[in-house]
Amino acid sequence: MESYDFVVIGSGIAGLTFALKAAAHGRVAVITKRAPADSNTAWAQGGVACVTSTEDSFELHVRDTLVAGAGLCDEGAVRTIVSEGPARIQELLALGVQFDEREVPGGDGHTELDLGREGGHSKRRILHAHDTTGREIEMSLLRAIAATPDIVLLDNHMAVDLITAAKLGFATENRVIGVYVLNEETGEVVTIESPRVVLATGGCGKVYLYTTNPNVATGDGVAMAWRAGAVIANMEFIQFHPTCLFHPEARSFLITEALRGEGGVLRDARGRSFMEKYHPLASLAPRDIVARAIDAEMKRTGEKCVYLDVTDKPADFLKARFPNIYENCLRYGIDLTRQPIPVVPAAHYQCGGVRTDIDGATHLRGLYAVGEVASTGLHGANRLASNSLLEGLVLAHRACGRALRDEPLKANHVDARSRYQLPEWQSGQVQDVDELVVIYHNWDEIRRLMWDYVGIVRTDKRLQRAAARLRNLQAEIQEFYWNFKVTTDLLELRNLATVAALIVDSALSRRESRGLHYTLDYPETDDRFPPRPTELRRF
């Protein structure tokens, strides 16, 4: 058994930021199931929304967030995250993150941050590094991690399950006391003890057939927290990004909203703009509205995609501002400076997750959640563009302080071992290659049924069909789990099935349309009562 003062599961902006802050107080293990840079953060194109201009204000940013969240945001959480953002941005700059700058007009060569604008924002407030902002932040954080001796980075390790006092049969307060972790290179499951475990596992985009997320986004953190007894909230609100590149060889390539922020227009196959019919902000409307509008246009016309047109912008500007998108589109025969980009909506962001307070603390003592895996109240029923990286920064900072207050470290910065004796992992030893076919089939079935039945537009009948099939799939998967030696594929399948069921159950319980949850059975928003989050409790 290994022991650490802090265990962080995930290596995106939230997890790495927490690890850097916690390392000033004790030993930290960062567990990541692939290479450290394989995270949603590294794939983020647009940027970080933060008030840094005198033309902007906290009040405007708060208002834009609340409007996008369709009445379900926690205003206190919104105000905290928005107001604490600038200090966290300064910390990124101190780490060496290079955001784009521009010359100040008439400023004798002086520069200032070059701020972009995205859908739902009333001002330019998006800090960016061309169109690979997430990669710039991820690499800077990983360099800092590598230079910090009290951080152990366990890559190619996948968290299997949280270890709780109740699960081990201790007659004490139920709390998290460690985690079982699969070493993917050896196939062994190791036991790691810690009184402070932080979920920073990102979202669950791979639960859908089409997604902008990397392959690691299988909802691991939400599934583990659910099995451990944490509260899960608002999982019906899955954000579909309106503009994923429509090409048979590039199903997961995102076309950033910043293109629309710079004047890009959505058009149908005949070249007609259509967003004016759906919202006063047209192509810059919030994402839930744009995604539903595109879905409606595709169904109305029978076309397989719509088009994002930026051809009226200077070619040199587009190549300099969006070099990654320009080069990737060109690879597939699309010159965005001369022709519109074919796009479709795809699953993009999980707005719900493990229920936390504004400090990232969950209902289980010793367990914290930060970043996309957490439901803090910031996003409500629909995330405002580029608020996610901001939330990860602020919550990581606050969660570190909270963890130290909840579980004070010893004076010598080395925690005493807990009074719990954690057992070694017991695993089934059967490994039948023929059964792997069943695992892969179930994986595909879950993703397709979620796309067909639990997509942008829903009905109770479709949701009930999904729920019935998922119950059967979960029973099959559970049998594999107990009888076979665990593998990454099996663990990810188990987590996908759990998260899919949570999304469906949450959607069935919300009998209205709000934000990202739109159902034909209840097409109107129910304003008779104050809107409440959807909360699911296992026990």
Q: Per residue in 94-104, is it b (16+ CB within 10 Å) or e — as a string? A: eeebebbeeee
Query: Is the separation of the CB atoms in 327 and 303 below 8 Å?
Result: no
User: Which residues, at least 6 apart from 465, have a Cβ–Cβ distance to it below 8 Å?
Assistant: 449, 453
Residue 511 CA to residue 439 CA, distance in Å, equals 34
Q: Find the helix or strand (DSSP H, E) in which 226 lies.
A: helix 220-228
Q: How would you class 524 by CB atoms within 10 Å of its CB: exposed for 0-12, middle for 13-18, buried for 19 or more? A: exposed
- Rounded to 5°, angle at Cα 46 from 492 and 12: 40
Residue 46 corresponds to which amino acid? G
Helices then strands, counting H and E runs in the chain, come out as 14, 21
Distance in Å from the first CA to the final CA of the chain: 29
Token digits of residue 341: 């980009």
Residue 154 corresponds to which amino acid? L
Residue 199 CA to residue 441 CA, distance in Å, equals 29
Query: Is the separation of the CB atoms in 145 and 153 below 8 Å?
Result: yes
Which residue, 391, 397, 386, is CA-closest to 374? Answer: 391
Residue 159 CA to residue 168 CA, distance in Å, equals 18
Residue 287 annotated in active site:
yes
Q: Specify the residue for token string 């089409």.
A: 210
Q: What are phi and psi of 344, to 5 degrees?
A: -145, 160
Query: Is the separation of the CB atoms in 194 and 179 below 8 Å?
Result: yes
Residue 170 CA to residue 278 CA, distance in Å, equals 56
Distances (CA, A) of 50 to 53, 87, 216, 221: 9, 10, 27, 27
Residue 300 corresponds to which amino acid? R
For CA atoms 449, 452, 456, 457, give the dihedral sign: negative
From 27, 88, 196, 287, the catalytic residue: 287
Q: Specify the residue for token string 């991690």.
A: 145
Length of the chain: 539
DSSP letter, residue 163: E
For CA atoms 247, 250, 254, 256, give the dihedral sign: negative
Q: What is the DSSP string of 391-432?
A: HHHHHHHHHHHHHHHHSPPPTTS-PPPPS--PPPP----B--
DSSP letter, residue 257: T
Neighbours of 354 (CB within 10 A): 29
Residues acting as catalytic residues: 287
